[in-house]
Amino acid sequence: MFALVFGALVILGAIYAQPAAREEIVVVLPSPDGHTGTVIVQRGGERYVLNQPFAASRLTGEQSATAQLSDAEVRQSFGVALEALPVPPTTFLLYFVTGTDELTDESKEELKQILAELKHRPVPDIMVVGHTDTVGELEANDLLSAQRAERMKGFLVEIGIPGRQIQTAGRGEREPLVPTADNIDEPRNRRVEINVR
Amino acid sequence: MRWTLLVGLLCFAAGAGAGEVGQIKAAKGAVFLERQGQRLPATVGMPVQESDSLITGADGSAGVTFSDNSLLSVGPGSVLAIERYAFDSTTHSGHFEASLKKGTLAVVSGKMVKHSPDAMRVRTPSAIMGVRGTEFVVKVIEPGS
């Protein structure tokens, strides 16, 4: 009997500990590059423009107000959600020795760093696109660009990324980084793009 | 003949509707996707579709990367509905409407917002947020919840 009454009190206590009114808050954050964008909050007839770092719009019950938060307050309230944000998608460029699917010495070094970074991404979705310069025939370059992409896929599979998560394509000389006339040996066009999401 | 065409069109529509719009990249604790009335345990790598709801328990958190590179994540005790999503990877046009019913949400907008600033809207029970290329966080505490 006593346990029952005590239990009921605990339940009542739990109910009354909850806020009696709805609370909402929206906070604009500076992005890692320091730039802060804009969020426009429309609430009933009111409109708030938030465009300063940590500017906030708050609702408590029926009461709406703007506020300025600190980094620490945002961490306190949103730390777990922010921690769960995925790594932003990115693109890597690697360059090749002319007419081959061999990376330049510089790009070989860079590949090591890229592979190390990719290990930190859970389930990366990867699109590898190969390109060539304008030296040689169109058809031969289509083939070479596809080979370059496939070779890179091989490296990615080697570090344990499942092949089904990696798509490849060869664009030949059709999409130069630096537009040139035909038959121009342009090192910046002999490349692969590795798009990682 | 007419039936074949109709069935074909229906299949195409269903295929487009069931398309993958994002992928779960992080999941800790209790995390679920609610899809057509079914509650599926959400794991890293699972595709997210339009009309899915992302739900976390008291110890849960989850992060999703969308096809336009938008990033969304939720903290514990959250319900987030992905109400509408479409993105054209050629033109970068599209629309994205999400609704936070309760809990915490972090957003990093993606390519469609860069292309057209009105493409993304996030709702709470009391407000609609328009997004102009930015990172922001939202919290909703429902009375008695």
CATH of the domain at A182: 3.30.1330.60
Asked if the ipTM is above 0.90, the reply is no
**Count of domains for chain A:** 2
Tell me which chain A residues have a C-beta less than 8 angstroms from the C-beta of B134: 28-29, 31, 36-39
Tell me the whole-structure pTM to 2 decimals.
0.82
Task: Name the domain boundary from A55, A84, A113.
Answer: A84
* Nearest C-alpha in A relative to B131: A39
Task: Name the domain boundary from A43, A64, A84.
Answer: A84
Task: Note whether A127 contacts B: Cβ–Cβ < 8 A.
Answer: no
Q: Which range of residues forms the domain containing residue A29?
A: 2-84
- Among the listed residues B93, B89, B95, B133, the one whose alpha carbon sits nearest the alpha carbon of residue B114: B133
Q: Are residues A95 and A159 in the same domain?
A: yes
Q: Are residues A112 and A36 in the same domain?
A: no
Q: How far is CA B64 from CA B25, B31, B54, B67, B82, in A?
A: 5, 12, 10, 10, 11
Q: Are residues A96 and A72 in the same domain?
A: no
Q: Are residues A61 and A120 in the same domain?
A: no
Cα A102–Cα A103–Cα A108 angle in degrees, nearest 5: 135
Within A10-79, strands assigned E span: 23-29, 38-43, 46-50, 55-60, 63-68
Quick one: tokens of B58? Answer: 């008291």
Element (H, E) at A114: helix A105-118
Confidence of residue A21 (pLDDT cuts 50, 70, 90): confident
Q: Are residues A71 and A125 in the same domain?
A: no
Q: Are residues A8 and A62 in the same domain?
A: yes
- Among the listed residues A109, A181, A173, the one whose alpha carbon sits nearest the alpha carbon of residue A146: A173
A12-31 residues touching B, CB cutoff 8 A:
15, 18-31
| pLDDT at res. A177 | 96
Tell if the CB–CB gap between B108 and A39 is shorter than 8 Å: no
The percentage of residues in chain A with a pLDDT greater than 90, rounded to a whole number, is: 81
Tell me which chain A residues have a C-beta less than 8 angstroms from the C-beta of B23: 123, 125, 197
| pLDDT at res. A7 | 54
A81-100 residues touching B, CB cutoff 8 A:
81-89
Tell me which chain B residues have a C-beta less than 8 angstroms from the C-beta of A89: 65, 69
Q: Are residues A129 and A172 in the same domain?
A: yes
* A156: closest CA of chain B, how far (Å): 18
Q: Are residues A99 and A131 in the same domain?
A: yes
Positions in chain B whose pLDDT score sits under 50:
1-17
Q: Are residues A106 and A151 in the same domain?
A: yes
Q: What is the spatial distance between Cα A116 and Cα A110, in angstroms, rounded to a whole number?
A: 10
* B31: closest CA of chain A, how far (Å): 12
Task: Name the domain boundary from A46, A66, A84.
Answer: A84
Q: Are residues A76 and A115 in the same domain?
A: no
The alpha carbon torsion through A54, B25, B83, A56 (nearest 10 deg) reads -10
B97-129 pLDDT per residue, tens:
999 999 999 999 999 999 998 999 999 999 999
A90-95 and A191-196 strand pairing: antiparallel
Q: Are residues A14 and A104 in the same domain?
A: no
Tell if the CB–CB gap between A57 and B127 is shorter than 8 Å: yes
Is the pLDDT score of A34 beyond 80? yes
Tell if the CB–CB gap between B126 and A81 is shorter than 8 Å: no
Quick one: tokens of A162? Answer: 């499942």
* A99: closest CA of chain B, how far (Å): 30
| pLDDT at res. B11 | 37
Q: Are residues A42 and A123 in the same domain?
A: no
